[in-house]
Amino acid sequence: MSRIDTSGRGKRSPAGRPPLPPHLKRSHVLEVAVNDHERAQLVQQAQRRGLAPSAFVRDRALGLKLPRAVARDGFDAGQLDALNKLWLTASTLRKELAPLANNCNQLAHQANAGRFGEAAVLLAMQELTPLVERLRQIESEAARLLQTVTVRDDR
């Protein structure tokens, strides 16, 4: 017994995008080692031009003309730069703070258990003083950057 197609669609075409011709297909992957700051810069520049990071790096390396930077979400390019700098600052701070916060929690746990004398607590506080100063600097920088960013209300 044969089945009868009652869907009205007939023969189905393959799903998805048609394959690229072999000369246009990108079948090789190059790995490039970058640090966190370099990666963030590449991603930022790609986003400003509406490109994926890989397309930005490829086009830049091949000397192709890149699209102009565009304003996004009501921000101009200068404001986007300020926001990205603020994001990088926060990212750096997060990386600096994670191990220090862990150490503080361990110290507090030991102190609450009565395992430290007064001298050890004072020494720990001396080591934390530069961190507090760094936090104040970053807070001041963040406030300054946020003042430079104003959203245009023309959407």
Indicate the domain borders of the chain: 31-70, 73-150
Q: What's the CA gap between 77 and 72, in Å, rounded? A: 8
Q: State the pLDDT at residue 153.
A: 42
Residue 149: closest CA among 102, 89, 96, 79: 79
Counting Cβ atoms within 10 Å, is residue 124 exposed (0-12), middle (13-18) or buried (19+)? Answer: middle
pTM score, whole prediction: 0.38
pLDDT at residue number 27: 85
Helices (H) and strands (E) in the chain, counts: 4, 0
Give the tens place of pLDDT for each residue, 20-48.
888 888 888 889 899 999 999 999 888 88
Tens digit of each residue's pLDDT (9 = 90 or more) over 117-149: 777 777 777 877 787 787 778 777 777 776 666
Phi, psi of 140 (to 5 degrees): -65, -45
Q: For residues 137 and 88, give the distance between their C-alpha atoms in angstroms, rounded to a whole number.
A: 14
Banded model confidence at residue 10, pLDDT cuts 50, 70, 90: low
Q: Report pLDDT for 34.
A: 93
pLDDT range class, residue 6, cuts 50, 70, 90: low
pLDDT above 50 for 151: no
Contact (Cβ atoms closer than 8 angstroms) between residue 52 and residue 122: no
Q: Tell me how many degrees the CA angle 148-150-155 measures, rounded to the nearest 5.
A: 155
pLDDT at site 73? 58
Identify the residue with better confidence: 149 or 68: 68
**What pLDDT, on the 0 to 100 scale, is given for residue 150?**
52
Q: Residue 86 is which amino acid? A: L
